[in-house]
């Protein structure tokens, strides 16, 4: 398995070493090893049930790794609670809509200040500058927003805090292509600002367009990893089980 090139002397933004994880008695990650260079976009691809979301949950502290190591910026973070990780800059966007249906847009921004470490005014300025639509709807309940607006609101959490590591779990799910393009533009902008992004997608093409590096998972293991163009070529073989 080729290891991604990481600049010497600088620890990778995220490193997984032989991570195993299970739900109850069923193991779903059978030794995942990954390494992501700082300020890059890494796409994690694979079919349903491959363990992509679980990998993100392990990094975000929602699922405990049964063995193996998770390093964020060179620090061992196994066993840290999700909220603690969030406060030190690991921002995980859960699958589906990462918003609270019964809170208004403005109230969401208030909650984002827990991890952002900046004032409420600052969070509002950054969000409304990037998503003017949310400014119009600041008094509206999130549950009544459109799917795209909800995803914008969810993404505003990443904008607010300038996290060190952004974990995105299928942000394109159920959204119109135009909205998806818009969201990925934000992802690209965040990466240019120096934020490391790990994104999980089922739609390989969208993800590979923004990624600097990619890997494909099946059956709880990383099968191949490499540059997006290499992955694109090998993708169907991995999905169909030829390459393993």
If the CB atoms of residues 154 and 214 are measured against another protein, the closer one turns out to be 154
Q: Name the residue among 105, 89, 97, 32 with its Cα closest to residue 63.
A: 32
Minimum CB separation from another protein for residue 89, in Å?
Answer: 10
Q: How far is the CB of 165 from another protein (least distance, A)?
A: 13
Of the two residues 87 and 221, which places its CB atom closer to another protein in the complex? 87
Report yes or no: 13 and 37 within 8 Å, Cβ to Cβ. yes
What's the closest the beta carbon of residue 147 comes to another protein, in angstroms? 17
Shorter beta-carbon distance to another protein: residue 41 or 116? 116
Residue (105 or 222) nearer to another protein, CB: 105
Give 105 or 217: the residue with its C-beta nearer to another protein. 105
Q: What would the two tokens of residue 103 be?
A: 């809170």
Q: Where are the extended beta strands (E) located within 37-144? A: 41-45, 67-72, 75-76, 90-93
- Which spans of this chain sit near another protein (rule: CB under 8 A)? 60-62, 81-83, 86-87, 91-94, 98-103, 107, 110-116, 157, 161
The tokens describing 30, both together, are 């059978």
Say if residues 187 and 41 touch (Cβ distance below 8 Å). Answer: yes
In this structure, the number of other CB atoms found within 10 A of the CB of residue 186 comes to: 18
Q: Shortest gap between Cβ of 83 and another protein (angstroms)?
A: 4
| Among the listed residues 161, 156, 160, the one whose alpha carbon sits nearest the alpha carbon of residue 171 | 156
CB of 101 to another protein, least distance (A): 6
């Amino acid at each position: 398995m080729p290891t991604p090139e990481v600049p010497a002397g600088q620890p990778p933004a995220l490193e997984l070493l032989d991570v195993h994880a299970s739900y109850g008695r069923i193991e779903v990650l059978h030794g995942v090893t990954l390494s992501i260079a700082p300020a890059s976009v890494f796409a994690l691809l694979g079919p349903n049930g491959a363990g992509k979301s679980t990998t993100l949950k392990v990094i975000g502290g929602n699922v405990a790794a049964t063995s193996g190591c998770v390093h964020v910026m060179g620090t061992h973070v196994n066993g840290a609670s999700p909220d603690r990780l969030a406060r030190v800059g690991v921002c995980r966007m859960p699958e589906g809509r990462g918003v609270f249906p019964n809170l208004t847009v403005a109230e969401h921004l208030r909650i984002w200040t827990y991890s952002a470490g900046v004032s409420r005014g600052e969070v509002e300025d950054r969000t409304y500058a990037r998503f003017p639509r949310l400014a119009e709807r600041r008094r509206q309940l999130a549950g009544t927003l459109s799917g795209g607006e909800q995803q914008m609101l969810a993404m505003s959490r990443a904008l607010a805090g300038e996290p060190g590591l952004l974990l995105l779990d299928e942000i394109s799910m159920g959204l119109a292509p135009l909205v998806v393009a818009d969201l990925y533009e934000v992802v690209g902008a965040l990466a240019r600002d120096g934020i490391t992004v790990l994104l999980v997608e089922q739609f390989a093409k969208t993800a590979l367009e923004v990624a600097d590096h990619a890997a494909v998972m099946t059956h709880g293991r990383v099968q191949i990893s490499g540059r997006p163009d290499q992955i694109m070529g090998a993708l169907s073989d991995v999905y169909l089980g030829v390459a393993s």
